[in-house]
Structure 1
């Protein structure tokens, strides 16, 4: 193996905005969420408060989890759909299980590429022996007949047929070996970079607002492999019959227990079953039957006048951080459904997991209400031991929660009609984590406790099953529409921005990216061990009996991110002088060998975001290597390692985003170089000799 490049010692910078993001990113991506009060004002007990006067380690290892974890607010044990023997302790895990030995899933991994050095270059940088190329960029024609992109002559009609703006979740449905359908989320728009002379939503033209609305949503584009290599390129001729654009206007329907609820009804849709568009779609997932699950995240920022909504709507609007007055993009100026003083229930029609069939461009997207409403991140699916569908989801805000949905019925291979009902009936759970160390050892610095690991056990607390609520004082419809309020009531654990969740195909454990939380000024717990957590960490969950439907689990933190020179970082026990610095993990994926790939958002170490790879088992466990770096102003999204492991796709989101940037003064010219305007893009990287990614 080639020796890694020398690691630069990086200063522990304190950026102007939390987490390393620019002011422009904060404004357009999440509506300056970090500059508003944290919407979760629940009094859920921190673990440190629970165990302040007792050592939990002996109790945890001696007894069943159900007798140990406090679950304030749960209706009662009789209401919990748990098997009597569904118990789990750290002993089982530490003696082998699926954690240390890999159980029946032998670890195959290993990474040998030479990491790239952190940098601030305006380009994609890949390791020696690799190449990269743009697959598709903002404005590229998607629908046959779409015009070529012209930055100076944009129109709403053109944008509705062209590739949308900021790319996030990426997935590939292969049509044979050398062709496939690429799905990409378009999370949000940077109007200050899209339009010359743009100042704010109050002064935007109606045409600019309409273009931005059509730049949201998602795209299905046909791509093909180039010359048998790991490179893929956009198909630009022929029928392209699957190509499709989803926008903020695309008609969708609600299904599941909350469909038709009075909470979803508006004057424009008295049925409560039909909705226009999806907003701020971030991470996502796929189903075993070949559809996309795309997650609506910071949907609150598109609305105005929550403070003028009726009194009975205020609790929900406040908990989901809807703006009280005017501001933001001002979409209400062209579509009054975004004015909550006139249409308060329109707020409840966003924040869902949306299912889309990439092979049927005429199909109607479905918002699946059984999966709850929140600032969704991910919807990663797997099959439980008894054949039920399981979906894992994060709620990407400070002090929010981690969720799981388990279907009532079983997945039947090949029975498409039946399988497409699975996401409408099941149980929605929220996670509660308990550490195994005395509270005094979790001091907020990131220093490891005496047992040399941040770890513990946890349980999935039921919120709702179909039309049955497990939350006192809330109906099933209320639990699904106001899922955050329900999770507050049952004592879920407040986490440091839960983002993407993925299940390791080799070990079966679930990995969660916790991006950061600079608002954690007190109350560290073992699952969130640092105050002012500006670098984030990775959480791993091993569920009882390797069963995705189990209600108890063990957990650990394999990575506590940041500068390796900082004693408050942890790299799985690996030698920290040999790892790449990593900050703000965002999206994650796995290759078939079980190696974890991490993309970052808001690197607080002063260099650009990028893609990192790390073995999670074996002698190289914790050996983080940076695989590629982003251009100026961009975060790294996606990522996706192809089935044959010959290609890795990443989404280059918001290149050129930065304070003071504009079309007159761009800070990036990615991807076209020269004096061009920056364009969000999907990029593929591959080995020049056709070796698998990571070699």
Structure 2
């Protein structure tokens, strides 16, 4: 197996980025024509632009220096041995919570040689910290709360000598430890008497959720034949959650963790069955002799999705169908069981970001993070009612899943993925709404959704409800994601950010108007190391500090847009970008400033604040050298980092 740290992440990135979408896409002229006909038929025409008011058009005309951004920009970090976190003058960054730190009461202290076994890992912080959220206690919201933190996947340093196998089989003890290091950590945090944030341990709230945690199933797929396996003949209890990347929250205070690249964990050796089974093939489940990522199927039979007619329900052929969902977790009830909410649909989900209307209507936005995939939103049928939690939780089981179509004239439509409509019928492979949801990608293909350049995190402006999405990059355009107005660069190495306004500011609207907020990349007129002009496709439109590959995205309460990056900082084309970064943008002036740079080899991801925005947490995922010890020889550990202002003020001002 690949043990070199940088090689492991390069191989993983190559897997994650493989386009799977086989659908026929449209040329730009066809998109324009479809757009024109749709507008005429729908009666929107030019008058439809009026609902924007001073929105998108007004933003593009403003060039004044931002009043929102009050910090001094941090320079790029070009040192190949940089192994720390740098923030602006007047700020402090401190490591707060690292892989292996004790979580549950009986958790042992982490062993620097990684000799902890899987039982210890079940009680300790998992690996590769990602999306997260701060849940305040009502009696002291700015001083006391719970942090829910995703653990996306695992790195070779999880084991003393890296990942091993013998005669093509993984050791069960290693596999169990890797499964234990996935999932979510929930930890209690509070300010001490000196005003410093501390982890509370032990705490009755502290909890680890992993790939071994039993989970309930709700919504249209609960008990469905497509979720039944030899170990779960009722299709009612799923063991674990995988590849928890970004996240979301509900208005009633629960956490939504999202399962992204789960398909790498499974294997279907039956070539004909794999090709014919949409729920496997359309998502990239592995074929051949070994799964693409960890080879768990050699030690744990449920990850071998090859159909077995000798076992009930074909053995574990349906096990991949049990992943790719939104998982709801109640952080304040450590005895509660996580619930997989199947009405949201199944794909490689990057996040589930809430937009809440004044009347209680909701939308949850998600990206499907693969080249050529789509942007979705789920709209519950009912309305949020403050204080009516039993009613509210049922809202996540009934609603409409939509997929986005971006038209070349700047308009867009949300297309409903509903059985019986738009060709989603039994004759076309969708005999019920359950099949529509479990094969959401194929359903979106059928509707003619717009393929995108790796849609990742989304963020909703706290006042205007304007929606932003990061399109991280796509340097292999091919024919899966056609060049068009919404994916405008032929070799999109650096990525871009889109934004749109829903018609009338209504989260549940089915029409919207969109624009490109910025193209990431080099500054205009930049030159490479050899003094040559940077090619046009590598030049961005950023007003301020350059960056590449926007990934994490979030708004604070004052409307600052925080942008986190994820690029391979050892790649030749990224040399000028330094290490990965946290930046901040003013949505009105579009000015961008670099707030933080991380250690070599890491991704900067996950972001959350206390109410009042005087404490911020971000995650440093898969640092390559020896962070957080930064001593040149310690085992690197993914970590949550706390950021505060020295004067106790609001972050970013």
Q: If the TM-score is normalised by the length of the shorter chain, which range does it land in?
A: 0.7 to 0.9
Check if 1:649 corresponds to 2:623.
no
Check if 1:509 corresponds to 2:471.
no
Specify which of 91, 103, 112 is matched with residue 49 of structure 2: 91
Aligned to 2:418: 464
Quote the Cα distance in structure 2 between the aligned partners of 1:138 and 1:155. Answer: 14
- SS of the residue corresponding to residue 376 of structure 1 reads coil
Specify which of 11, 23, 33 is matched with residue 7 of structure 2: 23
Sort the Cα spacing of 1:244 and 1:147 in 2 relative to 1 into closer, same or farther, 3 A: same
Question: Contact (CA 8 Å) 1:310, 1:344: kept in 2 or not?
Answer: no
Aligned to 1:71: none
Would you say how many aligned residue pairs link Structure 1 and Structure 2? 605
Specify which of 101, 111, 130 is matched with residue 150 of structure 1: 111
Matches within 5 A, 1:29-108: 32-34=15-17, 36=18, 38-51=19-32, 65=39, 67=41, 91-92=49-50, 95-97=53-55, 100=58
Question: Contact (CA 8 Å) 1:309, 1:340: kept in 2 or not?
Answer: no
Quote the Cα distance in structure 2 between the aligned partners of 1:338 and 1:358. Answer: 28
Specify which of 136, 146, 159 is matched with residue 174 of structure 1: 136
Aligned to 1:675: 633
CA displacement 1:9-43 (0-9 Å, x = unmatched): xxxxxxxxxxxx95321434x67234x5x210100
Quote the Cα distance in structure 2 between the aligned partners of 1:31 and 1:582. Answer: 21
What displacement does 1:690 show? 1.3
Quote the Cα distance in structure 2 between the aligned partners of 1:677 and 1:503. Answer: 37
Sort the Cα spacing of 1:411 and 1:684 in 2 relative to 1 into closer, same or farther, 3 A: same
Quote the Cα distance in structure 2 between the aligned partners of 1:499 and 1:319. Answer: 19
Question: Contact (CA 8 Å) 1:285, 1:378: kept in 2 or not?
Answer: yes
What displacement does 1:44 show? 2.8
Quote the Cα distance in structure 2 between the aligned partners of 1:365 and 1:553. Answer: 34
Quote the Cα distance in structure 2 between the aligned partners of 1:88 and 1:387. Answer: 30
- SS of the residue corresponding to residue 134 of structure 1 reads strand
Check if 1:339 corresponds to 2:304.
yes
- SS of the residue corresponding to residue 247 of structure 2 reads strand
Aligned to 2:340: 367
Question: Contact (CA 8 Å) 2:121, 2:180: kept in 1 or not?
Answer: yes
- SS of the residue corresponding to residue 178 of structure 2 reads helix
Question: Contact (CA 8 Å) 1:86, 1:550: kept in 2 or not?
Answer: no
Aligned to 1:299: 262
Question: Contact (CA 8 Å) 2:108, 2:120: kept in 1 or not?
Answer: yes
Quote the Cα distance in structure 2 between the aligned partners of 1:571 and 1:596. Answer: 18
Matches within 5 A, 1:522-671: 523-565=482-524, 567-568=536-537, 574=543, 579-602=544-567, 605-606=574-575, 607-617=578-588, 621-656=589-624, 667-671=625-629
Quote the Cα distance in structure 2 between the aligned partners of 1:311 and 1:300. Answer: 13
Quote the Cα distance in structure 2 between the aligned partners of 1:670 and 1:648. Answer: 18
Sort the Cα spacing of 1:215 and 1:88 in 2 relative to 1 into closer, same or farther, 3 A: farther
Quote the Cα distance in structure 2 between the aligned partners of 1:409 and 1:203. Answer: 49
Check if 1:288 corresponds to 2:251.
yes
Q: TM-score, normalised by structure 2?
A: 0.87
Sort the Cα spacing of 1:309 and 1:255 in 2 relative to 1 into closer, same or farther, 3 A: farther
Matches within 5 A, 1:444-523: 456-464=410-418, 471-472=424-425, 473=428, 474=430, 475-521=432-478, 523=482
Matches within 5 A, 1:316-335: 316-325=279-288, 326-327=290-291, 328-335=293-300
CA displacement 1:220-239 (0-9 Å, x = unmatched): 0011135675x5332234xx
Ranked by relative contact order (alpha carbons within 8 Å, sequence separation 6 or more), the top structure is 1
Check if 1:250 corresponds to 2:213.
yes
Sort the Cα spacing of 1:42 and 1:557 in 2 relative to 1 into closer, same or farther, 3 A: same
Quote the Cα distance in structure 1 between the aligned partners of 2:120 and 2:564. Answer: 31
Question: Contact (CA 8 Å) 2:16, 2:261: kept in 1 or not?
Answer: no
CA displacement 1:144-186 (0-9 Å, x = unmatched): 1110001332111100000101100011001223111000000
CA displacement 1:278-319 (0-9 Å, x = unmatched): 000100100000000111000011112353574685332111
Aligned to 2:652: 694
What displacement does 1:192 show? 4.8
Aligned to 2:98: 137
Q: TM-score, normalised by structure 1?
A: 0.82
Quote the Cα distance in structure 1 between the aligned partners of 2:499 and 2:260. Answer: 23
What displacement does 1:90 show? 5.9
Quote the Cα distance in structure 2 between the aligned partners of 1:88 and 1:386. Answer: 28
Quote the Cα distance in structure 1 between the aligned partners of 2:198 and 2:418. Answer: 44
Aligned Cα root-mean-square deviation (Å): 2.6
Sort the Cα spacing of 1:98 and 1:506 in 2 relative to 1 into closer, same or farther, 3 A: farther
Specify which of 196, 206, 213 is matched with residue 161 of structure 2: 196
Give 5+ residue unaligned stretches, structure 1: 1-20, 69-84, 437-455, 657-666
Question: Contact (CA 8 Å) 1:571, 1:623: kept in 2 or not?
Answer: no
- SS of the residue corresponding to residue 407 of structure 2 reads strand
CA displacement 1:219-269 (0-9 Å, x = unmatched): 00011135675x5332234xx011100011100011101212111111111
Give 5+ residue unaligned stretches, structure 2: 309-315, 525-533
- SS of the residue corresponding to residue 541 of structure 1 reads strand
CA displacement 1:444-463 (0-9 Å, x = unmatched): xxxxxxxxxxxx01000000
Aligned to 2:74: 116
